[in-house]
């Protein structure tokens, strides 16, 4: 009845949702609480109400009942894939408050979605998806670390490359999150990673970085192939860094792999479809 009444007159939705979200933190009866959670989830899943509900939810005390969180999360996680930037950012803010209370399955699913937002054309979405990814890494319990290790390994190259982003806030946020990843993996990153100058101006430092990652990732993840993907990135700073990395990382290819595949495929990938024109300053 509450949902029908709210939908019948759109102008009342903000007021109704304000009341519903406020009740979430004070209702103790399981049956009533479940109805409220169901109503909130329903409105979140309806695009024209999503931002209103998330805004109200963000202003209310978070329910510290795991079952409440479990029922709400699918709708909130779904909001990360919205085209409306405001909705995505609201969802990230709420998830930031919930991240320490998530079960491992939900946490791992969220990390996959956040990883897909690295490089998003909306700078704030890119920035804050990395922030939440870092918070997610810190929230993984020791017993579950093996379950997200590959996801963390896959994030290394993007974070390293985006530390060279033209957008200063993205570049700065990449570094602490990269440090969290290395701590998770029990690695100590070379200090050259944190240099202020662009990598393309510091070839000696870049060689040290590539040697470190080349050796650490051998047999775990193919960072050379992953870096090649970024050689066609829309941003010049990312393309230029990726090409520089590819040249140096190729030296740390597994010997048996190099004999089997050769290195022509690397050159072919770099030369596809007027690539040289794209990377020219």
- For the chain, the helix, strand and coil percentages under 3-state DSSP, each to the nearest 5: 80, 0, 20
pLDDT in tens, 214-238: 889 988 888 888 999 998 899 999 9
**Cβ atoms < 10 Å from Cβ of 188:** 10
| pLDDT at residue 219, as a whole number | 84
| pLDDT at residue 70, as a whole number | 74
| pLDDT at residue 65, as a whole number | 59
pLDDT in tens, 8-60: 544 566 677 777 777 666 777 778 777 777 777 777 777 777 887 788 777 76
d(CA 146, CA 64): 27
| pLDDT at residue 274, as a whole number | 42
Contact 236, 279 (CB under 8 A): yes
d(CA 150, CA 165): 24
Separation in Å, CA 6 to CA 12, 42, 87, 105: 6, 12, 20, 34
Per-residue pLDDT tens, the chain, 281 aa: give them.
Answer: 445 554 554 456 667 777 777 766 677 777 877 777 777 777 777 777 788 778 877 776 655 456 666 778 888 999 999 999 999 999 999 899 889 889 999 999 999 999 999 999 999 999 999 999 999 999 999 999 999 999 999 999 999 999 999 999 999 999 999 999 999 999 999 999 998 899 989 989 999 999 999 889 988 888 888 999 998 899 999 999 999 998 888 877 654 454 445 445 455 555 553 444 444 44
Among candidate residues 164, 142, 68, 76, the one with its CA nearest the CA of residue 114: 76
Contact 173, 123 (CB under 8 A): no
3-state secondary structure 192-221: HHHCCCCHHHCHHHHHHHHHHHHHHHCCCC
Please give the structure tokens belonging to residue 251. 């030296």
Domain spans of the chain?
1-117+127-136, 152-281
In angstroms and rounded to an integer, the radius of gyration of the C-alpha atoms of the chain is: 22
């Amino acid at each position: 009845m509450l949902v029908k009444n709210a939908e019948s007159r759109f102008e009342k939705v903000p007021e109704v949702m304000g009341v519903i979200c406020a009740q979430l933190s004070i209702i103790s009866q399981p049956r009533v609480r479940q109805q409220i959670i169901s109503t909130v989830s329903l409105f979140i899943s309806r695009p024209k109400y999503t931002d209103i509900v998330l805004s109200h939810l963000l202003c209310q005390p978070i329910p510290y009942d795991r079952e409440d969180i479990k029922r709400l999360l699918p709708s909130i996680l779904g909001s990360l894939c919205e085209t409306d930037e405001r909705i995505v950012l609201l969802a990230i803010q709420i998830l930031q408050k919930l991240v320490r209370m998530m079960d491992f399955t939900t946490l791992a699913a969220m990390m996959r979605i956040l990883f897909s937002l690295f490089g998003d054309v909306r700078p704030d979405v890119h920035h804050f998806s990395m922030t939440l990814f870092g918070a997610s890494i810190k929230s993984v319990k020791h017993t579950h670390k093996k379950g997200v290790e590959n996801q963390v390994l896959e994030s290394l190259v993007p974070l390293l490359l985006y530390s060279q982003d033209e957008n200063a806030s993205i570049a700065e946020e990449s570094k602490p999150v990269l440090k969290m990843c290395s701590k998770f993996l029990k690695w100590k990153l070379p200090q050259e990673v944190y240099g202020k100058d662009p990598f393309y101006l510091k070839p000696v430092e870049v060689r040290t970085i590539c040697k470190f990652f080349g050796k650490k990732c051998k047999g775990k993840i193919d960072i050379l192939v992953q870096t090649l993907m970024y050689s066609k990135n829309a941003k010049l700073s990312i393309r230029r860094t990726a090409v520089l990395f590819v040249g140096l990382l190729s030296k740390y290819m597994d010997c048996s792999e190099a004999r089997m595949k050769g290195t022509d495929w690397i050159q072919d990938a770099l030369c596809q479809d007027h690539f040289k024109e794209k990377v020219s300053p």
